[in-house]
């Protein structure tokens, strides 16, 4: 096994370089993640609305089962601001804005998905 005393200065230097590279990659990935331009709202897999992330606004969706979702768009991000589902998981997912990010409400079968216009 590797004892701590076996790590010499060169190893430490190497470890530091590896760590910095990993941190840099993470940072780069964050920067290169595509920002979404619109969000779709789906219920039971069917799209019921498409919201532009460029326009600030609050949208209220009432499901067949009587569930209500208040969806807020602000600063290019979207979130489920209020919902009357029992688990509140969709509300706790908070702001999303990168392409492919989703906020899901299982009890009401609502899916908010951030997407990017092609071209």
Residues 104, 53, 74: CA angle, nearest 5 degrees: 85
Instruction: State the nearest-atom distance from the C-beta of 80 to Zn ion, in Å.
Output: 7
CB 88 within 8 A of CB 115: no
Residue 78 or 85: which CB sits closer to Zn ion? 85
Q: How far is the CB of 43 from Zn ion (least distance, A)?
A: 12
Tokens of 55: 């326009």
- Asked whether 101 and 114 are in contact (CB, 8 A), the reply is yes
Pick 53 or 90: Cβ nearer Zn ion? 90
Q: H helices then E strands: how many in the chain? A: 2, 7
Q: Which residues bind Zn ion (CB under 5 A)?
A: 83, 85, 90, 105
Q: Which two tokens stand for residue 36?
A: 């979404």
Q: Which is nearer to Zn ion, 7 or 106 (CB)?
A: 106
Closest separation in Å from C-beta 106 to Zn ion: 7
CB of 116 to Zn ion, least distance (A): 25
By C-beta, is 53 or 83 nearer to Zn ion?
83
């Amino acid at each position: 096994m590797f004892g701590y005393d076996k790590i010499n200065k060169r190893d430490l230097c190497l470890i530091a370089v590896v760590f910095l590279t990993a941190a840099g990659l993470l940072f780069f990935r964050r920067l290169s993640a595509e920002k979404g331009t619109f969000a779709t709202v789906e219920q039971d897999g069917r799209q019921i609305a498409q919201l532009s992330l460029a326009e600030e606004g609050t949208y209220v969706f009432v499901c067949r089962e009587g569930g209500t979702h208040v969806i807020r768009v602000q600063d290019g991000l979207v979130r489920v601001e209020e919902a009357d589902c029992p688990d509140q998981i969709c509300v706790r997912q908070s702001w999303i804005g990168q392409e492919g990010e989703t906020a899901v409400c299982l009890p009401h079968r609502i899916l908010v998905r951030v997407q990017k216009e092609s071209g």
